[in-house]
Amino acid sequence: MAARITPDDSASDKLAEARKRNLDLAISNIQKEFGEAAIMRMGDGHRVDVDVIPTGNLLIDRALGVGGFPRGRIIEVFGPESSGKTTLTLTAIAQAQKKGGLAAFIDVEHALDPQYAKKLGVNLDDLLVSQPSSGEEALQICEALVRSNAIDVIVLDSVAALVTKQELDGEIGDSTVGAQARLMSAAMRKLTALISKAKTVCIFTNQIREKIGVMFGNPETTPGGRALKFFSSMRIDIRRIGQIKTTDGTVTGSRTKIKVVKNKVAPPFTEAEFDIMYNEGIS
């Protein structure tokens, strides 16, 4: 026996059709004003592929989950001093250049060694290098490079070294609580959409600090406030876990471990161990 269509069912169908027409019209207007990619249905055949720049090491690429550093994303690489942060980022720059890409290194720490970068495979002739005098200048340069839509990899080394104009204009010892965090918060809000549109890999290196008075839990934290932690698609903790020595006891490298503590494009908490040989790089 056929089901009867009640007036309530008919009214409900008409309401659903009207809502669908309104939604289709809204989507059409949005796409007309902001472009086809501004809004879409995930089931309309649009496959979401993560385009990456490899690190040059299969173990690291596997730990990252997508085969390298994802384009259009913000990545934070943090760890103790001399743990391999800059080496990892320079290796990524070398890989991007091998594929014909362009890269920029914003050297906030004023500590880039060109000869070491060359040994890692970086083409110094094509590498853009900036040594800004303030945190605001560093982030404005980063924004300008992203807006060019021409840079494949930007490395800012490091967040901990960003000095605000407020600090520069004051005396040593003056209280500037929260100045660096406010700067990073404003920059992240502005850069995130630009980086996504430009398909640039933007890597921020960061150092480790210890919270005072923490009795339980991990006392370690990273400078620059919470904005970078929030806006990063990947956060990579890199540590030196041992030394590599020759038979006569000469130290020739370090055993290094990374842990992906945050990952928005693949499962997090993956790890990888590899060697960093002095004057040679990641092996």
Decide if 46 is inside a domain: no
Structural domain range at position 24 = 13-39
Decide if 3 is inside a domain: no
Show the CA angle centred on residue 128, arms to residues 109 and 274, nearest 5°. 65
Decide if 117 is inside a domain: yes
Q: Average model confidence (pLDDT) for the chain? A: 91
Who contacts 277 (Cβ-Cβ below 8 Å, separation ≥6)? 244, 252, 253, 283
User: For position 41, what pLDDT does the model report?
Assistant: 78
The residue-averaged pLDDT of 124-139 equals: 96
- Judge if 252 and 123 occupy the same domain: yes
The structure's pTM equals 0.85
- Judge if 82 and 32 occupy the same domain: no
Q: Is the pLDDT of residue 9 over 90?
A: no
Decide if 114 is inside a domain: yes
| pLDDT-derived band at 48, boundaries 50, 70, 90 | low
| pLDDT-derived band at 121, boundaries 50, 70, 90 | very high
User: For position 265, what pLDDT does the model report?
Assistant: 92
User: For position 172, what pLDDT does the model report?
Assistant: 80
CATH classification at residue 113 = 3.40.50.300
Nearest Cα residue to 67 out of 46, 45, 44, 95: 95
Decide if 201 is inside a domain: yes
User: For position 39, what pLDDT does the model report?
Assistant: 83
User: Directed axis angle between helix 179-198 and helix 135-147, to 10°?
Assistant: 10
User: For position 156, what pLDDT does the model report?
Assistant: 97
- Judge if 92 and 224 occupy the same domain: yes
**The residue type at 67:** G
- Judge if 35 and 95 occupy the same domain: no
Q: Is the link from the previous residue into 175 a cis peptide, with omega within 30 of 0?
A: no
- Judge if 202 and 275 occupy the same domain: yes
Location of structure tokens 């605000």: 164
Tens of pLDDT, residues 134-178: 999 999 999 999 999 999 999 999 999 999 998 888 878 777 788
- Judge if 20 and 93 occupy the same domain: no
Tens of pLDDT, residues 194-252: 999 999 999 999 999 888 888 888 888 899 999 999 999 999 999 999 999 998 989 99
User: For position 31, what pLDDT does the model report?
Assistant: 86
- Judge if 71 and 203 occupy the same domain: yes
Number of domains in the chain: 2
User: For position 8, what pLDDT does the model report?
Assistant: 66
| Top-confidence residue, 170 or 30 | 30
- Judge if 35 and 122 occupy the same domain: no
